[in-house]
Amino acid sequence: MSRRHLLPLLFCLSLPLAALGEEPTATPGATPASDDLAQLQQRLDESEKLRADLAAQLQGAESAVVGRLRQENQRLKLQLRELQAQQPPRLLSDEQTWFATGGAVALVAFVLGALSRGRRRRRREWIN
């Protein structure tokens, strides 16, 4: 390789070394990492306080909604009891209604069967 081609190569290799040079410090004895850590700790504390405040607000809102829903539930229960008290008692329960319906169908079937038979004489022999 000639010297001409070697010079740009050396220049490119020296760039990362220049970037690793000394950085100026903000305060004597403190490193940038400790400053960043202190800032992050402060932001974490602020975020935790904000989260606690929001959780308290949310809990207050939820308790208000739950209280309102309980009142609504009590009102609806009272309304249901009043409507049930106003209705006349049922004559038959559901089971009794189905039993009576089945009996009526059986009776109608028996009567129709007896009427359809008529007054014919029964033959005791098969027709050959």
Classify residue 80: in a domain, yes or no.
yes
Residue 50 lies in a domain: no
Region 9-16: mean pLDDT is: 67
Given pLDDT bands bounded at 50, 70 and 90, which one contains residue 123?
low
Domain that holds residue 64: 57-86
| Structural domain count of the chain | 1
Let me know if residue 31 belongs to a domain: no
pLDDT digits (tens, 9 = 90+) for 80-105: 999 988 988 888 899 999 999 999 99
Structure confidence by residue, pLDDT tens digits, 30-59: 678 889 999 999 999 999 999 999 998 888
* Cα angle 77, 69, 57; round to 5: 165
The yes-or-no verdict on residue 14 having pLDDT over 80 is: no
* 1, 15, 16, 18, 94 from 5: Cα distances, Å: 7, 17, 19, 21, 104
Tell me if 79 is assigned to some domain: yes
Flag whether 70 is in a domain.
Answer: yes
CB 26 within 8 A of CB 32: yes
User: How confident is the prediction for the chain on average, in pLDDT?
Assistant: 82
Residue 127 in domain: no
65 inside domain:
yes
Residue 101 within any structural domain of the chain? no
